[in-house]
Structure 1
Amino acid sequence: MKKYILISCVVMLFATACSDDMLDTQPQTSIPESIAYSTPEKILAQTNNLYKQLQNQSFYGGRFIVFNEQRADQFGQNDGNAATGSAVWNQNVASTNDFVNNVWSVGYTAINAANILISKMNETTVISDELAKDYIAEAKFVRAFCYFSLVQTYAKPYNQDKNALGLPLRLTPITTSGNNDLARSSVEMVYTQILKDLDEAEADLPVGYTTPLLNASRAKKSTAIALKTRVLLAQNDFAGVIEEATKIVSGTQPYQYTEGGVTLKLEANFATIFGGSYTGTEAVFSIPFANTTTETPSAQYALAYNYLTQPIIFLAAAGIVSDPALNSATDARSSLIGTSPANQKVLKKFSVTTAPFRDYVPVIRYAEVLLNYAEAAANMNDLQTATSLLEAVRHRSAPAYAFPAADIATQEALLATIQKERDIEFLGEGIRLMDLQRKVQTLPAKTGSIGTAPLVLPTSSNYIWPIPSGEISANNLMEPNP
């Protein structure tokens, strides 16, 4: 039987952004393995397909970020329908839940696509060795990104128990049935592999690409470095965060990075991050959508639909939306808070409110790199650097603001202020849950239109998602979460 490799229909985004590398536009759902990597164009198509996997509406193209916000504490839930994630918000998903199974499936599909590409590029003679190294590096970035997303979702936090059961570390391609059995590696082993992939990706990725769109949507050296600051922060490796951050953050204000035609710095206008070209200097890594309906999420999966159009979830009155920064005309971020007809506070970061939903998804922003660095510096008792980085983020949106002395005078106070700034800055971007869990903090109780969701202690079984029933059925060596 001939082997076939799944391939997405045309990834027009990347084709149109790089006119010298036009992809084969013949619609296909699979092509024989023997020809999938037979030309430079087909190899590029397979590389582009890695990003198409991340764009899936059950993953970073839509609901995965909403799931993170539903599980955290900044949003109430309006809709009790299971299809809108009411069980996710109520903290009572089961292993048979479609969302639990879909996120796992999409993540591992992307991992396998990366494994296949790495294997093929190690033996190809169709393209130059240098280009093959670039593609392998992109695949390693995607693999690391997926493993990090999955280990945070289905395994205990690193800082809670690094020896706990993590994920099956699939590092070789699966192209035939019957190869599903693989035991779970420890959380620490998964993190070790993530950082190994990112280190190797950084070494071989290009500094940049030929267009702003490609620089925002494909992995480059600074993308791998930025993701490492997130991973290392999740491990409380503060010295490591600083080592990585200083590669792409200048030593003095204005904080920025410029190399090989790529410039990373804070956007002067906060609102432009979420509109216009979506590819400005703050976009370290984004999930873009082209002008085709086939590449956009369906309504219930789209960020704007969940936050604004319906809205399925609304900003909890007792949450960070009550902070003065989000209620003052002197802070530009307040312009992205609105009020629904039901008099609920809603998030307007994602504003394409009718289908097709083409808001780009900001996965890693330069502001996060600065605040990751600030938190690490504060933990290393470099309060001056931490304060300067914190002020850079705040002053972008509120130039005249001065932090009260009590908020930045001590290490404890400064760390609390940095966390509050993260909650304000990244509201609705899926980061709040990461912060709660990496600090092994309780997921607070919350109130919505459908009732009250209970608090979840770090020791509770539902602090993380269960291993999906589909994986348990297919993998005889898979152990469920205790």
Structure 2
Amino acid sequence: MKKYILISWLVLMFATACNDDLLNTQPQTSIPEAIAYSTPEKILAQTNNLYKQLQNQSFYGGRFIVFNEQRADQFGQNDGNAATGSAVWNQNMASTNDFVNNVWSVGYTAINASNILISKMNETNVIPGTLAKNYIAEAKFIRAFCYFSLVQTYAKPYNQDKNALGLPLRLTPITTSGNNDLARSTVDKVYTQILKDLDEAEIDLPLSYSTSLLNASRAKKVTAIALKTRVLLVQNNFEKVIAESQKIVSATAPFQYTGEGLTLKLEASFAGLFGGSYTGSEAIFSIPFANSTTETPAAQFALAYNYVTQPILFLAAAGVASDPALNSSSDARASLIGTNVANQKIVKKFNVTTAPFRDYVPVIRYAEVLLNYAEAAASTNDLATALALLKAVRNRSDPNYLFPVIDVATKEGLIATIQKERDIEFLGEGFRLMDLQRKVQTLPAKKGSIGTAPLVLPSSSNYIWPIPSGELAANKLIVPNP
């Protein structure tokens, strides 16, 4: 029996500088696996399909970022409808919940697509070996990115118990039924594989692509390095965070990276990051949307709809929204905080507020690398470097701001100040939950229009999401979270 696979015809325009659309799509179709990798164009289409998996509205194309903000403490919820994630905000997720099942399914679909491509590229003679290695490296980056997202969602934090049950570690392609049974590897083994994939991807990924759009939306060497700084920070592996950061951050201000065909640095305008260009010097990795309405998320999944149009979420008065930086005419980040008709503060970073919702989703920004590096430097007692990196981020938005000496004079104070800067800088971008859980901190109680969500202790079963009911039914070797 011939094997069939689902493909999306997505063509990245490597050399056509006049075409600014990343995705040129045709309807999905099933074709025989034997011909899916038979030409260079079809192989490219399969590679591009990996990025489309991330673009899914249940993953980084939409609600996954919202889920992470709902579970943390910076937002209240206006809507009690299950379809808008009221159970997510209320910390009351069951294994049968559609969101719990969808995120898992989308993540593992992308992982399997990556595994298939890796396997095919190890066998192909259709394209040059160097290009095949490039595609394998992209697949390993996508696989690592998905595993990192899933292990943070469905398993205990690394610093809480690295020997706890993690995820089924699927590293070979599944193209037929009957291959579902696989036990969960430990959290530590999952992280080891994530870093192995990223290390190997770094070797064979290109330094840059032919356009700023491709540089912002496809994995390159610095993309793998930047993601490593995030993963290693979650592990409290500060020495390695520093080592990776130093590959792409200059030793002195203005902190930046310059390589072949690529410059990374903080953009001068914070508001400009979200103003429609999306592909400037700060965009290490973003999820793009082209001009086809079929690629954009449905309303309830879109970031702008959740934060602005409806809004489902508003900024909690007791959270970072009360920080002076977000209430100051001198800090550019305050310009992206607004007020809705109910007099609630809202985040306006994502401003395409009517369908189709075509805001690009920033996944990795250069500002994050600088703050990851700053926290690692402070944690290893290099307070001077940490402060210089922290100042670079703050003074981009508020050039004349001076940190009070009491906030930066000690290791503990500086680390706390760096965390506050992360909360301000990445508000609404899905970072807050990761920061709470990597430090094994309680998820605080929070108030919304639909009531009060309870605090969640690290020891509580709902500190992480349950293993989905769909996986429990299909995989005889998997066990649920305790």
Do these two structures clear the TM 0.5 threshold for a shared fold by scoring above it? Answer: yes
Counterpart-to-counterpart distance in 1, 2:150 and 2:445? 24
Counterpart-to-counterpart distance in 2, 1:426 and 1:100? 24
Counterpart-to-counterpart distance in 2, 1:22 and 1:286? 11
Aligned residue for 1:88?
88
Query: Does the aligned pair in 1 maintain the 2:22–2:213 contact within 8 Å?
Result: no
Query: Does the aligned pair in 1 maintain the 2:289–2:295 contact within 8 Å?
Result: yes
Query: Does the aligned pair in 1 maintain the 2:249–2:255 contact within 8 Å?
Result: yes
What do residues 187-237 of structure 1 show as CA deviations (whole Å, max 9, x unaligned)? 000000000000000000000000000000000000000000000000000
What do residues 305-352 of structure 1 show as CA deviations (whole Å, max 9, x unaligned)? 000000001000110010000000100000000000000000000000
Counterpart-to-counterpart distance in 2, 1:26 and 1:378? 49
Equivalent residue of 1:314, what SS?
strand
Distance 1:318-1:17 versus aligned 2 partners, 3 A rule: farther
What do residues 358-398 of structure 1 show as CA deviations (whole Å, max 9, x unaligned)? 00000000000000000000000000000000000000000
Paired residue type of 1:367:
A
Counterpart-to-counterpart distance in 1, 2:85 and 2:57? 14
Deviation at 1:470, TM superposition (A): 0.1
Aligned residue for 2:329?
329
Deviation at 1:27, TM superposition (A): 3.1
Counterpart-to-counterpart distance in 2, 1:430 and 1:11? 27
What do residues 124-171 of structure 1 show as CA deviations (whole Å, max 9, x unaligned)? 000000000000000000000000000000000000000000000000
Query: Does the aligned pair in 1 maintain the 2:7–2:30 contact within 8 Å?
Result: yes
Distance 1:412-1:26 versus aligned 2 partners, 3 A rule: closer
Paired residue type of 2:451:
G
Aligned residue for 2:455?
455
Q: Does 1:261 align with 2:271?
A: no
Equivalent residue of 2:166, what SS?
coil
Counterpart-to-counterpart distance in 1, 2:23 and 2:337? 40
Counterpart-to-counterpart distance in 2, 1:32 and 1:143? 24
Aligned residue for 1:202?
202
Tell me which moved more, 15-24 or 210-219.
Answer: 15-24
Equivalent residue of 1:173, what SS?
coil
Paired residue type of 1:196:
K
Aligned residue for 2:127?
127
Counterpart-to-counterpart distance in 2, 1:302 and 1:14? 26
Equivalent residue of 2:160, what SS?
coil
Equivalent residue of 2:127, what SS?
coil
Aligned residue for 1:188?
188
Deviation at 1:5, TM superposition (A): 1.2
Deviation at 1:11, TM superposition (A): 2.7
Paired residue type of 2:312:
I
Equivalent residue of 1:258, what SS?
strand
Aligned residue for 1:116?
116
Distance 1:418-1:126 versus aligned 2 partners, 3 A rule: same
Paired residue type of 2:306:
N
Counterpart-to-counterpart distance in 1, 2:261 and 2:25? 30
**TM-score w.r.t. structure 1 length?**
0.98
Gaps of 5+ in 1: none
State how 1:8-157 maps to structure 2 within 5 Å. Answer: 8=8, 10-11=9-10, 27-157=27-157
Aligned residue for 2:371?
371
Query: Does the aligned pair in 2 maintain the 1:351–1:359 contact within 8 Å?
Result: yes
Counterpart-to-counterpart distance in 1, 2:379 and 2:40? 47
Equivalent residue of 2:363, what SS?
strand
Distance 1:329-1:461 versus aligned 2 partners, 3 A rule: same
Query: Does the aligned pair in 2 maintain the 1:165–1:185 contact within 8 Å?
Result: yes
Equivalent residue of 1:112, what SS?
helix
Counterpart-to-counterpart distance in 1, 2:49 and 2:16? 15
Counterpart-to-counterpart distance in 1, 2:94 and 2:104? 14
What do residues 98-123 of structure 1 show as CA deviations (whole Å, max 9, x unaligned)? 00000000000000000000000000
Distance 1:337-1:23 versus aligned 2 partners, 3 A rule: closer
Paired residue type of 1:11:
L
Counterpart-to-counterpart distance in 1, 2:331 and 2:12? 34
Counterpart-to-counterpart distance in 2, 1:331 and 1:22? 33
Query: Does the aligned pair in 1 maintain the 2:14–2:209 contact within 8 Å?
Result: no
Identical amino acids, percent of aligned pairs: 82
Aligned residue for 1:289?
289
Deviation at 1:276, TM superposition (A): 2.5
Q: Does 1:270 align with 2:270?
A: yes
List structure 1 segments (4+ residues) > 6 angstroms apart after TM superposition: 15-25
Distance 1:296-1:199 versus aligned 2 partners, 3 A rule: same
Counterpart-to-counterpart distance in 1, 2:151 and 2:298? 26
Query: Does the aligned pair in 1 maintain the 2:12–2:24 contact within 8 Å?
Result: no
Paired residue type of 1:289:
F
Deviation at 1:277, TM superposition (A): 1.4
Aligned residue for 2:413?
413
Aligned residue for 2:383?
383
Q: Does 1:314 align with 2:326?
A: no
Aligned residue for 2:241?
241
**TM-score w.r.t. structure 2 length?**
0.98
Equivalent residue of 1:30, what SS?
strand
Aligned residue for 2:351?
351
Deviation at 1:19, TM superposition (A): 7.8
Aligned residue for 1:279?
279
Deviation at 1:180, TM superposition (A): 0.3
Counterpart-to-counterpart distance in 2, 1:192 and 1:31? 35
Equivalent residue of 1:363, what SS?
strand
Counterpart-to-counterpart distance in 2, 1:441 and 1:29? 46
How many residues are paired up? 481
Deviation at 1:57, TM superposition (A): 0.1
Gaps of 5+ in 2: none
Deviation at 1:29, TM superposition (A): 2.3
Query: Does the aligned pair in 2 maintain the 1:15–1:23 contact within 8 Å?
Result: no
Query: Does the aligned pair in 2 maintain the 1:23–1:42 contact within 8 Å?
Result: no
Deviation at 1:30, TM superposition (A): 1.7
Counterpart-to-counterpart distance in 2, 1:198 and 1:17? 29
What do residues 391-421 of structure 1 show as CA deviations (whole Å, max 9, x unaligned)? 0000000000000000000000000000000
Equivalent residue of 1:362, what SS?
strand
Query: Does the aligned pair in 2 maintain the 1:17–1:214 contact within 8 Å?
Result: no
What do residues 254-306 of structure 1 show as CA deviations (whole Å, max 9, x unaligned)? 00001011111000000111122100000000000001101100000000000
Counterpart-to-counterpart distance in 2, 1:62 and 1:315? 19
Equivalent residue of 1:190, what SS?
helix
Equivalent residue of 1:7, what SS?
strand
Aligned-residue CA RMSD (Å): 1.5
Query: Does the aligned pair in 2 maintain the 1:13–1:289 contact within 8 Å?
Result: no
Equivalent residue of 2:28, what SS?
coil
Distance 1:22-1:304 versus aligned 2 partners, 3 A rule: closer
Q: Does 1:480 align with 2:480?
A: yes
